[in-house]
A and B are shown apart, each in its own frame.
Chain A
């Protein structure tokens, strides 16, 4: 499977309160409340690092989780947010040709 590079949509509004992010899609007013693990992924999703890198270094580095299970959940989470239009998933880092 090709690596996925998650990038927050620049029009999405978000704030992190006590480690948990709230995200608003201004297009359809959908509001998301993310748990701490998901918030770590959200904050790291600037398009420069792959989801696998983020899970390995940021998620597994902070939380006691099994890497394969964490990756599986991270993919489902990223795809769900991508379906709502607040995250884009690319097969290359942002800015690369």
Chain B
């Protein structure tokens, strides 16, 4: 996979694209970063044209997400067209609208994976997060049916204050349902700039527990101690795949470098996909950034091993060149070593060892 990514990078190919087909949703998850209005979604004809352009541009990994994708009545036609262009397809859904006939066409069309969000194995916790009574039962029933039909399934669990202790239960549920399991401990700001939902992020204590769970991180000692010396190679690295081998398309055709990086680079109703990908000023700006260009992180000892997300940095208000507070915290919790971003913000004042020394 690494070799394929490197090849795509050298050829300037957007290997993976995440397309949100709609922002409408039948759940109201408390941590969701989207508006759920209907901003003139791309029509079926427009989406078919876009998929053709993306296939011609070399896009291979296609994620169809939302919002809730099964609220689009033309979803099957969209997926069928995408499969006719040989994309590798992942669907992201809450699954509560999936019927037996849907599971059958998903299998028959050769969809690679269906990823379903499950926040807890306990209905009272999951349903409180989605704000839809009965949603856990319906999602689990759909997961079971998909598996019975031979569809590969993934359970995705976002960790937040309300479900912080439940992920082992969700892992067990995934095993029972024959699904893969993935967990994300990061809550992202709302696309409209509202950062109030960041209060749902779990604290450093829980993050530390997660980082010491071998079922999630593999070799715990290696994970906690991994450190890459900051040399010229590190400083020449690109921050992530956003804008380099991947990008995002919103329901109304805006292209961002990533779903978590809402810098509008163009709109497919006004310009060709490949023109935006290759020539948009914003995309070129994102693509030009190297670690050495980062205002604070370039002088940080974590620069070689940090999971810094430029989109998170941007949405946190630190610009695409600044540090991401959430990722600074992860680096600190993982290693116990303060980051340059934390020093700059003065958040180290609260650290026990500093105040202890002062006394």
Contact = CB atoms under 8 A, between A and B. Distances in A.
Nearest to B180: A29
Contacts of A15: 55, 58-60, 86-87
B111 interface: yes
Interface of B is mostly: loop
Interface string A6-34: 00001111110110101010110101010
User: B interface, how many residues as a size bin?
Assistant: 20 to 34
* Residue from A15, A24, A29 whose CB has the most chain B CB atoms within 10 Å: A15
A14 B152 contact: no
B11 interface: yes
Contacts of A10: 110
Interface of B: 1, 3-4, 7-8, 11, 13, 15, 55, 58-60, 83, 86-89, 109-113, 150, 152
Contacts of B60: 13-15, 17, 22, 24
Interface of A: 10-15, 17-18, 20, 22, 24, 26-27, 29, 31, 33
B7 A20 contact: yes
Contact of A17 (B8, B86, B89, B111): B8
Contact of B112 (A22, A24, A33): A24
What is the interface of chain A mostly: helix, strand, loop, or mixed? strand
A22 B152 contact: no
Nearest to B57: A15
Contacts of A22: 4, 60
A17 B150 CA distance: 30
Contacts of A26: 88-89, 110-113, 152
Contact of B86 (A13, A18, A27, A33): A13
Given A15-B86, A26-B112, 4 more contacts: A15-B60, A17-B11, A26-B111, A26-B113
A11 B110 contact: yes
A60 B342 CA distance: 61
Contacts of B7: 17-18, 20
Given A22-B4, A22-B60, A24-B88, A29 B112 contact: yes
A71 to B, nearest CB: 27
Nearest to B90: A26
B181 to A, nearest CB: 15
Given A24-B88, A26-B110, A17 B152 contact: no
Given A13-B86, A18-B11, A29 B4 contact: no
B58 to A, nearest CB: 5
A13 B110 contact: yes
A13 B88 contact: yes
| The 4 A-B residue pairs with the shortest CB-CB distance in the complex, in nearest-first order | A11-B110, A13-B88, A15-B60, A26-B112
16 contacts: A12-B86, A13-B88, A13-B89, A13-B112, A14-B60, A15-B55, A15-B59, A17-B7, A17-B8, A17-B15, A17-B60, A24-B112, A26-B110, A26-B152, A29-B112, A33-B3
